[in-house]
């Protein structure tokens, strides 16, 4: 059994440690982190998943960003503890958080990731949406939370105001 909760301030160090374990401390040099720097996360969508022993099993965060003057959600990172990978926990966090994002009125989600993994959740490659370099354009993926959410939305991805 797992406990799904909104990330709290008290979780911060433990969540950061899990991200370091899964992605290495050098992860903050990635271009997507420049879009997050100094921008508050979307707290209602930043979730933790803990097991019966209260051990942190998986986490997900979202950040606001802009593309072509339109608000977008930037998904990531999502991480699952190496001892819990393959149990579907990352998928659970993605599905639950996307459902909440829809409920909150967000129209579109952006991420940088592996299309074969994220396509199962409906993400597709975004043409005309440009992440800060160096980002492989084939890894820039989007999902419409509202029909037509990505229609006509193109340009450089920038920090939220």
Helix ranges restricted to H, the chain: 12-23, 31-36, 89-103, 115-118
Distance between CA atoms of residues 138 and 71, nearest Å: 22
pTM given for the model: 0.93
State which residues form the domain around 101: 3-159
* Secondary structure (H, E, C), 39-79: CCCCHHHCEEEECCCCCEEEEEEEEEEEECCEEEEEEEEEE
Question: Does the pLDDT value for residue 29 go beyond 90?
Answer: no
Check if the beta carbon of residue 124 is closer than 8 Å to that of residue 111: no
- Residues 33-49: pLDDT tens digits? 678 888 999 999 999 99
Please state the domain count of the chain: 1
Q: Which residue has the higher pLDDT, 99 or 30?
A: 99
Read off the CATH number of the domain in which 88 is found. 3.40.630.30
- Residues 97-154: pLDDT tens digits? 999 999 999 999 999 999 999 999 999 999 999 998 888 999 999 999 999 999 999 9
């Amino acid at each position: 059994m797992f406990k799904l909760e909104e990330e709290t301030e008290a979780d911060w160090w433990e969540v950061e440690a899990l991200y370091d374990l899964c992605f290495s401390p050098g992860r903050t040099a990635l271009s997507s982190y420049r879009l997050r720097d100094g921008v508050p996360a979307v707290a209602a969508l930043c979730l933790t998943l803990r097991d019966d022993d209260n051990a942190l099993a998986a986490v997900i965060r979202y950040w606001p960003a802009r593309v072509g003057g339109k608000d977008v959600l930037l998904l990531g990172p999502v991480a699952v503890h190496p001892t819990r990978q393959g149990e579907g926990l990352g998928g659970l966090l993605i599905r639950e958080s996307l459902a909440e994002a829809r409920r909150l009125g967000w129209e579109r989600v952006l991420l940088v990731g592996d299309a074969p993994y994220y396509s199962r959740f409906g993400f597709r490659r975004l043409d005309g949406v440009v992440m800060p370099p160096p980002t492989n354009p084939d890894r820039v993926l989007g999902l419409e939370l509202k029909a037509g959410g990505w229609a006509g939305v193109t340009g450089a991805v920038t920090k939220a105001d």
